[in-house]
Amino acid sequence: QAVVTQEPSLTVSPGGTVTLTCGSSTGTVTSGHYPYWFQQKPGQAPRTLISSTNNKHSWTPARFSGSLLGGKAALTLSGAQPEDEAEYYCILSYSGDREVFGGGTKLTVL
Amino acid sequence: EVQLVESGGGLVQPGGSLRLSCAASGFTFTEYWMTWVRQAPGRGLEWVANINQDGSDKYYVDSVKGRFTISRDNAKNSLFLQMNGLRAEDTALYYCTTKDFWGQGILVTVSS
């Protein structure tokens, strides 16, 4: 089974920019992996930020964006706010429609 | 308003069974693949199983194959997860999701 890798932790300054990545042990991540990005705060259910690489939802703050970068899926936060401190997960779809989550990135805004 | 409401969780002994249900509303259920995701205490998210729109395709993480069965009733806008042969490592909060929308989760505890 494929392994999906994320940075375990990242720190960003308020107002700063940070990029979280999502890689695959099978090679380059493409749009065909339909990467999704989720935000989870303590004690809460996950919330979807980005669907299928770069599609935002009505509730997704404009400061979040999704892309493919350097063979990985990427979530970029531009203009970090204190409320963005959370755990962020990506998920990739593989052939046969099995899916694998990354281990999550704990983002600190400090 | 989109709602996904899980039910059926609880405390069960190792080897026991539980059936989780997820009631969906506020969106066209028949247009979506549906997925179960779980989160063990203090751990990350784990994809468990998914099912296509008409229920003809189902996929499972290796650790639950042969023990869990995902199903859906499109007439009742409902998703299910039949869990048999439960193990301590199945203890988790189980979420019903379309990957765009999420339920609040239901706790399953496997312990003697």
pLDDT digits (tens, 9 = 90+) for B36-77: 999 999 999 999 999 999 999 999 999 999 999 999 999 999
Asked if A5 reaches chain B (Cβ–Cβ under 8 Å), the answer is no
Q: What is the mean pLDDT of residues A58-64?
A: 97
Work out whether the CA dihedral A98, B14, B94, B77 comes out positive or negative: positive
Nearest to A45 among B61, B100, B102 (CB): B102
CB atoms B45 and A45 under 8 Å = no
Residues facing B39 on adjacent strands: B45, B93
pLDDT given at position A96:
63
**Which tokens hold the place of B99?**
């990957």
Helix (H) or strand (E) holding B79: strand B78-83
Q: Does the beta carbon of A96 lie under 8 angstroms from any beta carbon of chain B?
A: yes
Contacts of B66 (CB under 8 A, 6+ apart): none
